[in-house]
Amino acid sequence: MNRLERALEELRRRKIGQGMVLKPQNIYYLTGFYPTSFAVLLLGKETKLLVSPMDERLAFRCEVEVEVVRNFRRRLRRIESRRVGVEKSYASCEFYERYLRGRQVVSLGFLEEMRMVKDREELRRIKSAVRVAEEVMGGVAERLEEAESERELAAWAEYLLRRKAGSAFEVIVASGRNSAVPHHTPGEGLDTASVIIDLGARVEHYASDITRTFSLNKAEGFDELYEAVLEAQKAAIGRCVAGAAARDVDLAAREVLREYRLEEYILHSTGHGIGLEVHEAPRLSGESDLILREGMVVTVEPGVYREIGVRVEDMVLIGKRPKLLTSFGK
């Protein structure tokens, strides 16, 4: 059974008359076509992809019937099912009011669950995206000494990523005190005493995500923080095995950082699934109750944010044993 058939099977099982898929990543996953404008994949009673005229010439790659729609409002109001499935975390309140009011609306969350376990082709693309990201990390490391600013270094990283493939998200270059801010926007100046570089490539729609913290002229306390984070990461990676709880990966990292009395400097959970989206299920957080399965791909990225910040992020394929996909500098 291919993905589309599996999704249709799920719909029948859940007695959903009509699914309306809006999220481009889910549409791509099920049809092989990645819409560039508003599009709706109908699943169930009607199964076809509705695209705008903007996408007419691109949609020939699509594995389901395509209908070009000039007026989505009119078209979507023709849908009759009483029980409709949508991606509740993606569809807006406006969409709900226009098309779903008075119907029984249920979640299509199973699509995100389907995407958690990667098949061979998906792994091939993820590995390609990893190779590009690691090459670029090398290019950035080389330029560290001569770069004139965080911003220039980030711009260079984006150039290298996009020349080869695509950039999965805005590159983060956070140096000195800025490294203590997990979502710092690259700015003027570059303090090479501690520099966090967080970047990812995109290859055929699949993403990679890797972080390294460099220090040319060691900031005070850098080595101690770095060692603690590395040890936390190692412990967390050790739990990335099929059958383990996602929560335990997070807890393993926290436990190590607690031993180093660094727990209060943790600002985010330990990692996340990655694939068509940079952040997707499963989350590796203390609140997750998900069990890891073979074929999931996650990042493991403990970080501490004090006067300076240190974060190290690698990608791991879940199996009987954890398989590290990234290896830059390791």
Q: Which positions touch a copy of itself (CB under 8 A)?
A: 36-37, 53-55, 57-58, 86, 88-97, 100, 105, 151-152, 154-156, 158-163, 167, 180-183, 185, 267-268
CA angle, 113 as apex, 279 and 318 as ends, to 5°? 70
**CB neighbours (10 Å) of residue 121?**
10
Nearest approach in angstroms of CB 5 to a copy of itself is 26
C-beta of residue 240 within 8 angstroms of C-beta of residue 325? no
What Rg do the C-alpha atoms of the chain give, in angstroms?
A: 22
Nearer to a copy of itself, 143 or 323 (CB): 143
CA distance from start to end of the chain = 40
User: What tokens were used for 63?
Assistant: 């594995």
Nearer to a copy of itself, 76 or 242 (CB): 76
Instruction: State how far the Cα of 195 lies from the Cα of 198, in Å rounded to an integer.
Output: 10
Nearest approach in angstroms of CB 280 to a copy of itself is 15
Instruction: State how far the Cα of 112 lies from the Cα of 321, in Å rounded to an integer.
Output: 24
Nearer to a copy of itself, 54 or 117 (CB): 54
Nearest approach in angstroms of CB 155 to a copy of itself is 4
Nearer to a copy of itself, 25 or 322 (CB): 25
User: What tokens were used for 14?
Assistant: 């859940």
The CA-atom distances, in angstroms, between 206 and each of 79, 135, 181 are 33, 17, 27
Nearest approach in angstroms of CB 158 to a copy of itself is 5
C-beta of residue 128 within 8 angstroms of C-beta of residue 204? yes
Nearest approach in angstroms of CB 87 to a copy of itself is 8
Nearer to a copy of itself, 95 or 319 (CB): 95
Nearer to a copy of itself, 173 or 318 (CB): 173
Q: Residue with structure tokens 């481009």?
A: 24
Instruction: State how far the Cα of 108 lies from the Cα of 235, in Å rounded to an integer.
Output: 34
Nearer to a copy of itself, 91 or 249 (CB): 91
Q: Residue with structure tokens 């990667």?
A: 118
Question: Nearest to residue 328, comparing CAs of 138, 173, 129?
Answer: 138
Nearest approach in angstroms of CB 38 to a copy of itself is 12
C-beta of residue 182 within 8 angstroms of C-beta of residue 305? yes
**CB neighbours (10 Å) of residue 128?**
18
Nearer to a copy of itself, 138 or 329 (CB): 138
Nearest approach in angstroms of CB 151 to a copy of itself is 7
Nearest approach in angstroms of CB 268 to a copy of itself is 6
